[in-house]
Amino acid sequence: MRFLVDRCAGKTIADWLRLQGHDVVESRERGPDPGDSVLLDWAANEARVLVTIDTDFGQLVFFDRRPHAGLIRLPDVRASQRVLLMEHILARYTAELEQGLIITVQNDRIRISKSPS
């Protein structure tokens, strides 16, 4: 799979995804933070699932109806738990991510959403 990892999600997730054989780009590799809209555009244009802890992407996708290639949102996940959670998500929800769905983790709950049409 192809991923764009937001700087707030952490280098550890990006490194782990690479070790699993995924094609990963970290936003920090492209310079200063360009803002959420640009990150979402990069991910959509490059067919990458965006991994973030930032909640602003929900606004962009659900209310502004911005295009994307899939989104993993981890707003309530501590850094020490992110890799284990990503392992679980990829083991169980790869098909959903390949369909461009949105996975949001809040507390102990995983929610899968489709973008509004």
Please provide the DSSP assignment of 45-96 as one string.
Answer: HTT-EEEES-THHHIIIIIS----S-EEE-TT--GGGHHHHHHHHHHHHHHH
Name the stretches of the chain with pLDDT < 50. none
**pLDDT of amino acid 109:** 86
pTM for the model stands at 0.92
Taking the C-alpha atoms of residue 105 and residue 117, their distance in angstroms, rounded to an integer, is 22
59-92 pLDDT per residue, tens: 888 888 899 999 999 888 888 888 998 999 999 9
**pLDDT of amino acid 17:** 96
Q: Would strands 49-52 and 23-26 be described as parallel, antiparallel, or unpaired?
A: unpaired
- Strands laid side by side in the 102-106 sheet: 23-26, 2-5, 49-52, 71-73, 102-106, 109-113
